[in-house]
Amino acid sequence: MRAKELILAYAKEVLEKEAKALLNIDSKLDNDFAQAVQLILKTINSGGRVIVTGVGKSGHVGRKIAATMASLGTPCYFVHSDEALHGDLGMITSQDVVIAISHSGKTEELLAMVSRIKNFGNKIIAMVRDKNNPLAEMADIVVCTYVEHEADHLDTAPTASSTVTLALGDALAVAIARLQKFDKQDFLKFHPGGALGKKLSEVVKNGKQ
């Protein structure tokens, strides 16, 4: 096989594995996901916010989830689990709900943070591989991010699992926004800049859909 063909074969294999993982998680959406959405809605409608936390790749995914929620009108912040233990716990109020992300559910820094937050009385939504781990046991609601295999050739690097987690975060954000009747005018208030902001401004101005 020529080099270019090999490269494309590798790339297609990754995409196929990640697409399969997304289809599998779609079939496993259950009442826990619905409860997570309802808890977040109750929180923000009572003046609270959503706090997303994680470490490593889960932290990077968490930042994106927080940014998406914020752009769709849900008050949301990312707090790094390490920094939380060095003073940033003060950013979290008693009214907030926390989304804790760890595929293994065993990340020590995250568990230490969640343990402290539980003592504050905050509700915890865990985004984690399954329900058989320390994080799931501490959580009030568990949104499973299970994947059969990662997408890399070693079946090790967070690839398919991070894609599934990100997609579930998008699903949470959009479901909440739709239930809140969030529209294009609302989106423009939070996203006035860039090409997207310009396009939406023209749409709203001209009354186009």
Torsion of CA 150, 152, 156, 158, to 10 degrees: -60
If we measure between CA atoms, which residue out of 52, 32, 69 comes closest to residue 175?
Answer: 69
Helix (H, G, I), strand (E, B) or coil at 143: strand
The model's pTM is 0.92
The upper half-sphere exposure of residue 102, i.e. CA atoms within 13 Å in the direction of its Cβ, equals 29
b/e sequence 175-202, b meaning 16+ C-beta within 10 Å: bbbeeeebeeeebbeeeeeeeeeeebee
Which domains does the chain show, CATH number per domain? Answer: 15-147+157-182 (3.40.50.10490)
8 CB neighbour count, 10 Å cutoff: 12
pLDDT of residue 208: 54
pLDDT tens track, the chain, 209 positions: 699 999 999 999 999 999 999 999 998 899 999 999 999 999 999 999 999 999 999 999 999 999 999 999 999 999 999 999 999 999 999 999 999 999 999 999 999 999 999 999 999 999 999 999 999 999 999 999 999 999 999 999 999 999 999 999 999 999 999 999 998 888 887 778 777 767 767 766 676 55
| C-alpha to C-alpha distance for 209 and 199, rounded to whole angstroms | 11
Torsion of CA 158, 60, 36, 114, to 10 degrees: 100
Interhelix angle 31-45/160-179, rounded to 10 degrees, is 50
pLDDT of residue 200: 67
Place of tokens 């591989």: 129
pLDDT of residue 81: 96
pLDDT of residue 11: 97
